[in-house]
Amino acid sequence: MAEASSTPEPSFITIGAGDQARSIAMLVRKARDDVSGPTLVWLSGYRSDMAGTKAVELDAFAEREGLASIRFDYSGHGISGGQFTDGTISRWLEEALGVVGHAAPQRIVLVGSSMGGWIALRLAQELRKQPNGPRVEGMVLIAPAPDFTYELLEPELSDAERSSLAERGYFEEVSEYSPEPNIFTRALIEDGRDNLVLKGIIETGCPVHILQGMQDADVPWSHALKLLEHLPADDVILTLVRDGDHRLSRPQDLERMLDAVSALVIR
C-alpha cells in the first residue's frame, strides 16, 4: 500500500450563511479521460479527517484505476473551518451534501468509516430525494456507527456525564487515538435523535458491503448485525474480521476495503 503519487491541491467552499458559515476543505481528483466509472466519495469518522490512512489509500486506488474521487474534512476537523464543538450529524451531513453538490458527479460510491457510515446512509437517503442528484451505485461501510449517539453512547452515560451534559452542555472522555479527550455535546446527542436510521427499512437502492472487526472496542460487531436487519431490500455483504479492531487500518484490512470498493466500481 502506498500514498497517491499526485495528490490534488485542496480547495474550499463555504457551507451555511451568516454566523453558520464555515469553510470546508476538499480534495477532488478528476477521472482519467478514458475511464467512466463512478466517483469515490470518502466520509470520515468522528474526529478523523481526509488525511487518514484509509482515506489516503482510497485516493491512491482511485488514481491507479483512473477514477474520480472526493474527500473532505467536516467542519471542526482537519483543515476545514468551524468549531468541532458546533458539530452535529445534521451539520456534517449538510457539508457532505454541499461538497457532493459542488463536485457534481453523476454516479458515486460512498465509502464511510465509523460515524462516516452513518453520514453515508443519511447522505444516500437525502440524495434519493433529489431528482437530478448523483446516483449512488454502492456503499462500503467500515465499522459503521449509525445512530451511535442514541444506540451506543446514551445508554452508557454515567451520572457524572449526564450532569456535565446538563450543566456544561458537553462531557469529555479519554480517547484511545489522541492525547486530546473526546468531547460529546448535548447538541450532538439531541441532533442524533433527529437523524436515526435504525428505526425502519433503510432503502439505499444499491449494493452495500460492511466490514466489521470483531475486536472493535468502540462499535461492537452486534451493531453491524443490527444494521444488517435494517437493509433487507439491498444486496448486502457483511465481512466480520475476527481479529480486527475499530480502525481496520492494517495492510490486510486496507486490502479488504479496496477489494470491496473494486467489486463495486470495476465491472
Evaluate whether residue 164 is within a structural domain.
no
Evaluate whether residue 186 is within a structural domain.
no
How far is it, in rounded angstroms, from Cα 219 to Cα 242? 14
Q: How far is CA 187 from CA 48, 90, 149, in A?
A: 19, 10, 11
What does the block give as the cell for 158? Answer: 454515567
What is the model's pLDDT at position 4? 44
How many domains is the chain partitioned into structurally? 1
Q: Is residue 225 within 8 Å of 210, Cβ to Cβ? A: no
Bridge partner list, 11: 26
Evaluate whether residue 6 is within a structural domain.
no
Note down pLDDT in tens along the chain; length 267 residues: 554 457 889 999 999 999 999 999 999 999 999 999 999 999 999 999 999 999 999 999 999 999 999 999 999 999 999 999 999 999 999 999 999 999 999 999 999 999 999 999 999 999 999 999 999 999 999 999 999 999 999 999 999 999 999 999 999 998 887 888 899 999 999 999 999 999 999 999 999 999 999 999 999 999 999 999 999 887 999 999 999 999 999 999 999 999 999 999 976
DSSP 110-125: EEEETHHHHHHHHHHH
Contacts of 52 by beta carbon, 8 Å cutoff, 6+ apart: 44, 113, 249
How far is it, in rounded angstroms, from Cα 5 to Cα 201? 41
Evaluate whether residue 160 is within a structural domain.
no
Evaluate whether residue 127 is within a structural domain.
yes
What is the model's pLDDT at position 57? 98
How far is it, in rounded angstroms, from Cα 145 to Cα 119? 9
Q: Is residue 158 within 8 Å of 208, Cβ to Cβ? A: no
CATH number of the domain bearing residue 95: 3.40.50.1820
What is the model's pLDDT at position 244? 98
Q: How far is CA 56 from CA 2, 115, 129, 144, 234, in A?
A: 8, 18, 30, 19, 28
What is the model's pLDDT at position 6? 77
Q: Give the pairing type, strands 107-113 and 135-142.
A: parallel
What is the model's pLDDT at position 5? 55
Could you list the residue range(s) of the whole structural domain that residue 244 is in? Answer: 11-145+206-265
